Amino acid sequence: MKSWHDKLPCQGYVAVFGMVACTNHSPAPAAACPQDLPQACPSSEPSYQHDVAPIFTNRCVVCHSPDGSDNRRNYASYAAIYANRSAILDQVYACNMPPSGAAAPTLSERVTLLNWLVCGAPDN
């Protein structure tokens, strides 16, 4: 049986293209990054409009927007986020995003993002 990650497009995308941070960034130390990837979509999947979009607005769009420092990855719309969902999942799960020096998501925000991405990033 395939895992959720096998079902996502662009395996290896991060390794090839990487994500460029807004500031000098180094990944979080391995001990500091929780190994909390959900194994399956929860029965109550997060809502993009109510749960996820506000996290992107508050945590990501500062850099990942047309006027941001990493404007090549514009996450100001659902379509752009959806198109990059595999890379976003890899970067958030590995604690590479946000970069050091930027405000990290709360544990609740991290769980919401990871759950939503594991659920296939629905536009709900």
> Does residue 10 belong to any structural domain of this protein?
no
Structure tokens, 52: 């996820």
User: Is 22 a member of any domain?
Assistant: no
Domain count, the chain: 1
Residue 109 lies in a domain: yes
Whether pLDDT at 3 is above 60: no
CB 22 within 8 A of CB 97: no
Range of 111's domain?
A: 44-118
Number of H helices, E strands in the chain: 5, 0
pTM score, whole prediction:
0.74
Say if CB 112 and CB 36 are below 8 A apart.
no
Span 98-109, pLDDT tens digits: 888 888 899 999
Query: Are 117 and 92 in contact, with CB atoms under 8 Å apart?
Result: yes
The predicted pLDDT at position 107 comes to: 93
Residue at 96 is within a domain: yes
Encode pLDDT of 17-65 as tens digits.
333 334 434 455 555 899 999 999 999 999 999 999 999 999 999 999 9
